Amino acid sequence: MSEDLHALQRRLAEFAAARDWQQYHTPKNLAAALSVEAAELVEIFQWLTPEESAKVMSDPRAAGRVEDEVADVLAYLLQFCEALGIDALAALAAKIERNESRFPAVRRARPDRPREGEE
């Protein structure tokens, strides 16, 4: 895992320890908190059109809300990984490799030729 993520995990652990919150940071509680924060991120986009959602960061107030929720999601995810001893970046790299095998890239047809089976 990158040193930056490790440093953030340490800061989060120190923050929780200084407030005696580790007792609440069980995998179950952290997974639930992660779900809640992800839902709060979804809520920002709930009634936006696809076009509006693509431009959400151009509104400083909305951008701040999105960044706060992204930070909350990442914080809980890092704390969850810390609680279970998961290297988040290694887990992601392994998942990408499995997905590359499961879902091979689609060969693009040239515009002047139909793809196989589309004649």
Model confidence pLDDT, tens digit, residues 53-69: 999 999 999 999 999 99
Q: Report the pLDDT value the prediction gives residue 63, as an integer from 0 to 100.
A: 98
The pLDDT of residue 115 is 60
Give the mean model confidence (pLDDT) for residues 67-85.
97
The label of the residue with tokens 């091979």 reads 104
Q: Which residue has the higher pLDDT, 29 or 116?
A: 29
Asked if 26 contacts 20 with a C-beta cutoff of 8 angstroms, the reply is: no
CA separation for the pair 85, 62 (Å, rounded): 34
Residue 117's pLDDT is what?
62
Is 108's pLDDT higher than 80?
no
pLDDT for 17-60, tens place per residue?
Answer: 999 999 999 999 999 999 999 999 999 999 999 999 999 999 99
What whole-number distance in Å separates Cα of residue 84 and Cα of residue 34? 14
pLDDT surpassing 90 at residue 2: no
Structure tokens at 68: 């706060």
